[in-house]
Amino acid sequence: MKIEEFRDFSIGDYHRLFKDKEISPLELVNLFLERIKEGEDKIHAFLFVNEEKAKDEAQKKAENLPDELLPLWGLPVAIKDNICTRGIPTTCGSKMLENFTPPYDATVVERLKKAGAIILGKTNMDEFAMGSSTQTSAFGPTYNPFDRRRVPGGSSGGSAASVCSLEAPFALGSDTGGSVRQPAAFCGVVGLRPTYGRISRYGVVSFASSLDQVGLITRKVEDAITLLEVVSGKDDKDSTCAPYPPFGRSEIPAPEEIRKLKVGVPREYFPSGLEKVIKTKIQEVLEKLKEEEIEIVEVSLPHTSYALESYYIVAAAEASSNLARYDGVVYGLRVEGENLQDMYFKTRTLGFGREVKKRIILGTYALSSGYYDEYYLKGMKVRTLVRQDFEEAFGKCDLLITPTTPSLPFFPEKKGRDPYEMYLNDMFTVPSAMAGLPSLSLNCGYDEGLPVGLQIIGRPFEEGKLLGLALFLEKLLALPSPFPLFKEDNNE
């Protein structure tokens, strides 16, 4: 079989092949490994390919095909490199953890394995998940599979690029302020950030604890549903994980129920800076929904413009504390110094990249005595207002539809150097993260070969409705899943 035959596959299709003995897990893993070999020098989505162990595991599975397949049985999965994998390096895209191999699996990884999945490799990311371009990785950037001159988005750029190019059928990412949805939008795939607390964070290297949430990157909405069923649910190792049972597909309303949902469109998400083509595409989708007799209402989220600023304060504050542990003492990089202070200084100077240092300094400042009230506390207050905005809007509708990003995949040359413009790219993904709401990005069309992302935002723990609408839209739009060819010619 050839990899391109899987272009529109979801998990069920692979399982049918397994059952019909048309392909074995080992053959499947080999096909993905080949695809990785073909694509990696062009897009650099992976930091580590788990070739041997993946083959061994696939071989074991190939020898023992059960009658009933576990939900992810025999399927390879790519994991963002800030999610701990036992015995497999977990670097967070940082020199600081270049040689760090965790002695434990993150809860999500444990659950993937238990569901029969095979770890294919670890994907590239912005250092410690700080960035929207996968340019800040200490191990080189990832390129957008649609156009290598452009960024794949970030910070889960490696995961999104690998799924887009079918180097992996699906992947895990993490989303703090949009790090799953924005790269999913830039790579034309599905990116789901569930409700804060839906999925355990244990083993996910903390960036901003009150915002970090594991996200799922898939080619089909259907696969996001399956993955969510597998990885969600209560975890005794994470106090912030909600004490609820795992998500179940029975929570998804039937198609006829979907038509009864009210969709809100927040006017603040269509500012003047929004790229025209994105606005057009979203409006086209809204029109189609209307044709399907789904009610569309305009709503307002008045504090949207303050969300981004306060996000960068709150996230940086938490990061400054979360990253204090990288001090060269117990694990990770250590650069010897003349004394303790000197060792700290050298280790952190060499271990962290510019973006990380910038945010640590920013966050340290925001928490300092005398500034705490003015910055951190105010940021938290804005956060409450943002949450209240959503609560009010959800009094008028069940779900919100917005663009995922204000721009199409951008050029690193253009945006990589202006931090504020870069931060603006998160303006539509940050507010729902601040409010802890489930949000999903879905490809809603192309403009000159570049994908446009549409975002659906739901009420807390109402992933059912969210995924229901996403399934409905996916069917309605009937776009082919991406399969970019790795061409040499578009690299300048």
Partner 1 sequence: MSDFTTTIGLEVHCQLLTQAKMFCHCSTDYIGKEPNTLVCPVCLGLPGSLPVLNQKVVELALRAALALHCQILPQGVFHRKNYFYPDLPKGYQISQYDLPIGVDGFLEFYSRGVKKKVRIKRVHIEEDAGKLIHEGVFLPPGTSGVDCNRCGIPLAEVVTEPELSSPEEARDCLMMLRNIVCYLGVSDGNMEEGSLRCDANISLSSSSLLGVKVEVKNMNSFRSVYRALSYEVERQRKLLEEGKPIFQETRHWDEVKGVTVSARGKEGAEDYRYFPDPDLLPFSIKGEMIEEIKSELPELPLQREERFMTEYELSQGEAEILVQDKEIADFFEDTLRDFNEPRMVCNWITTEVFKNLKELGIDISQASITPAHLAELLKMVDKKEISGTIAKSVLEEMFATGARAREVITRRGISFISDEKELENIVREVIEKNPQSVADYLSGKEKALQFLIGQVMKETRGQADPELTKSILIKVLSSEE
| Catalytic positions | 80, 155, 179
- Of the candidate spans 13-21, 29-37, 165-173, 320-328, the one that interacts with partner 1 by CB under 8 A turns out to be 320-328
Q: Which of 1, 297, 329, 361 binds partner 1 (CB under 8 A)?
A: 329
Q: Which of 24, 90, 176, 304 binds partner 1 (CB under 8 A)?
A: 90
Regarding 280 and contact with partner 1 (CB under 8 A), the answer is no
Query: Which two tokens mark 350?
Result: 């060499």
Restricting to residues 26-85, which ones interact with partner 1 according to CB under 8 A?
Answer: 82-84
Site pattern 356..395 for partner 1 (x: CB under 8 A): --------x--xxx--x---x-------------------
Looking at residue 26, the DSSP 8-state letter turns out to be H
Q: How far is the CB of 330 from partner 1 (least distance, A)?
A: 5
Query: Which two tokens mark 22?
Result: 């048309």
Q: How far is the CB of 338 from partner 1 (least distance, A)?
A: 14
Regarding 209 and contact with partner 1 (CB under 8 A), the answer is yes
The helix/strand/coil state of 266 is strand
Regarding 92 and contact with partner 1 (CB under 8 A), the answer is yes
Number of residues that bind partner 1 (CB under 8 A): 44
Cβ-Cβ contacts under 8 Å for 366 (sequence gap 6 or more): 313, 316, 317, 320, 372, 375, 376, 379
Regarding 238 and contact with partner 1 (CB under 8 A), the answer is yes
Per-residue burial over 121-149, b = 16 or more CB atoms within 10 Å of its CB, e = otherwise:
bbbbbbbbbbbbbbbbbbbebbbbbbbbe
Looking at residue 23, the DSSP 8-state letter turns out to be S
Restricting to residues 217-236, which ones interact with partner 1 according to CB under 8 A?
Answer: 236
The three-point CA angle 254-257-261 to 5° equals: 130
Query: Which two tokens mark 54?
Result: 């993946």
Regarding 206 and contact with partner 1 (CB under 8 A), the answer is yes
Residue 56 or 238: which CB sits closer to partner 1? 238
Q: How far is the CB of 490 from partner 1 (least distance, A)?
A: 37
Residue 205 or 227: which CB sits closer to partner 1? 205
Q: Among 166, 167, 156, which residue's Cα sits nearest to residue 216?
A: 156
Q: Among 168, 52, 59, which residue's Cα sits nearest to residue 112?
A: 168
Q: Among 108, 123, 116, which residue's Cα sits nearest to residue 49?
A: 123
Restricting to residues 421-480, which ones interact with partner 1 according to CB under 8 A?
Answer: none
Q: Among 448, 440, 452, 439, which residue's Cα sits nearest to residue 479?
A: 452
Q: How far is the CB of 155 from partner 1 (least distance, A)?
A: 15
Chain-centre distance for alpha carbon 85: 17
Q: How far is the CB of 377 from partner 1 (least distance, A)?
A: 9
Q: Which of 114, 237, 354, 381 binds partner 1 (CB under 8 A)?
A: 237
Q: Which of 67, 103, 336, 420 binds partner 1 (CB under 8 A)?
A: 103
3-state secondary structure 225-255: HHHHHHHECCCCCCCCCCCCCCCCHHHCCCH
C-alpha dist (Å) from residue 330 to 97, 222, 355: 12, 42, 24
Q: How far is the CB of 386 from partner 1 (least distance, A)?
A: 16
* Phi, psi for 463 (deg, rounded to 5): -60, -25
Q: How far is the CB of 160 from partner 1 (least distance, A)?
A: 21
Q: Which of 125, 204, 435, 454 binds partner 1 (CB under 8 A)?
A: 204
* Phi, psi for 137 (deg, rounded to 5): -60, 135
Q: Which of 318, 355, 389, 463 binds partner 1 (CB under 8 A)?
A: 318
Cβ-Cβ contacts under 8 Å for 203 (sequence gap 6 or more): 83, 84, 102, 104, 105, 106, 107, 108, 109
Q: Among 149, 219, 137, 206, which residue's Cα sits nearest to residue 442?
A: 219
Regarding 351 and contact with partner 1 (CB under 8 A), the answer is no
Q: How far is the CB of 326 from partner 1 (least distance, A)?
A: 8
Residue 127 or 474: which CB sits closer to partner 1? 127
Residue 331 or 411: which CB sits closer to partner 1? 331
Applying CB under 8 A, which residues contact partner 1?
A: 82-84, 90, 92, 97, 100, 102-104, 106, 201-206, 208-210, 236-240, 317-318, 320-321, 323-325, 327, 329-331, 340, 344, 364, 367-369, 372, 376
